[in-house]
């Protein structure tokens, strides 16, 4: 696999993982392409993260990979109480966990996660996801993307993925999309967790409801964007 970076310095990936065996697996997978820094608890990660982001000279993480359960707490609780959706705006991050609960996925994506991978994962799966996310982050950086407008109504407070999803509905006749089209246009054809698309649609539904719009399932992996706004 070719290096994903265009300069001599390899991306530095910070990994929150307290299992030595898992750390070894990460090291074997990532050592050829990335620098890695490991944290066995949330406190040490938070302390070093704050120092790195506050200093112009410190080496900042290019990406974060985090397990959900660390020896001093739950990473989900940490996200919701400390970052409030802001971590993904500063640094892209992936959650890797044996927890397959859909509510965990909902919270992770709501709090800005770029992806959610279920253990055990394949080496190439992890590498491709890292490569795709880093390329996207390097290309687009952190600019504030324009809000999506539907029927003259500006929809605010959406994540980047939610904006892409909503904009995709707008480009289709009758505002109908299917699963394959979403995966192609929003995820670039990349394989994702089976529940990922459903979770993003669920979170998007909740946000646009107050604006008078709904996303209705048509069955067979097809959805339509509709309005219930009173004229």
Asked which of 106, 122, 140 is the last residue of a domain, the reply is 140
Per the structure, the count of domains in the chain is 2
Verify that 134 and 222 share a domain, yes or no: no
pLDDT digits (tens, 9 = 90+) for 108-142: 888 888 899 988 888 998 998 898 888 877 654 44
pLDDT band at 211 (very low <50, low <70, confident <90, very high): very high
In a domain, 2, yes or no: no
In a domain, 1, yes or no: no
What are φ and ψ of residue 170, in 5° steps?
Answer: -65, -25
pLDDT digits (tens, 9 = 90+) for 170-210: 899 899 999 999 988 888 777 777 788 888 899 899 999 99
Verify that 214 and 132 share a domain, yes or no: no
CATH number of the CATH domain containing 118: 3.40.50.2300
pLDDT band at 212 (very low <50, low <70, confident <90, very high): very high
Q: Which residues contact 101 (CB under 8 A, 6 or more apart)?
A: none
Q: Which residues pair with 66 in a beta bridge?
A: 16, 95
In a domain, 3, yes or no: no
In a domain, 174, yes or no: yes
Verify that 81 and 152 share a domain, yes or no: no
CATH number of the CATH domain containing 221: 1.10.10.10
| CA–CA dist 36, 13 (Å, integer) | 5
Verify that 62 and 121 share a domain, yes or no: yes
Q: Pick from 160, 16, 159: which is nearest to 76 by CA?
A: 16
pLDDT digits (tens, 9 = 90+) for 49-98: 888 887 777 778 999 999 999 989 888 888 888 775 567 667 889 999 98
Domain that holds residue 48: 12-140
Verify that 25 and 107 share a domain, yes or no: yes
In a domain, 40, yes or no: yes
The whole-model pTM stands at 0.68
């Amino acid at each position: 696999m070719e290096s994903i970076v265009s300069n001599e310095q390899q991306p530095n990936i910070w990994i929150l993982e307290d299992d030595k065996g898992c750390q070894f697996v990460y090291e074997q997978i990532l050592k050829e392409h990335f620098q890695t820094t490991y944290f066995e608890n949330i406190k040490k990660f938070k302390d070093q993260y704050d120092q790195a982001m506050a200093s112009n000279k410190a080496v900042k993480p290019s990406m974060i990979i985090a397990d959900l359960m660390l020896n001093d707490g739950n990473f989900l609780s940490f996200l919701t109480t400390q970052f409030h959706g802001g971590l993904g705006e500063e640094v892209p991050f992936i959650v890797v966990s044996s927890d397959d609960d859909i509510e965990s996925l909902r919270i992770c994506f709501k709090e800005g996660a770029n992806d959610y991978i279920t253990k055990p994962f394949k080496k190439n799966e992890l590498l491709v996801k890292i490569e795709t996310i880093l390329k996207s982050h390097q290309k687009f950086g952190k600019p504030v993307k324009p809000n999506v407008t539907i029927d003259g109504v500006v929809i605010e407070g959406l994540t980047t993925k939610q904006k892409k999803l909503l904009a995709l509905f707008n480009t289709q006749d009758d505002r109908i999309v299917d699963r394959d089209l979403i995966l192609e246009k929003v995820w670039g054809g990349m394989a994702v967790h089976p529940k990922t698309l459903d979770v993003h649609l669920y979170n998007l539904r909740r946000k646009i409801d107050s604006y008078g719009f709904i996303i209705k399932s048509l069955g067979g992996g097809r959805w339509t964007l509709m309005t219930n706004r009173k004229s």
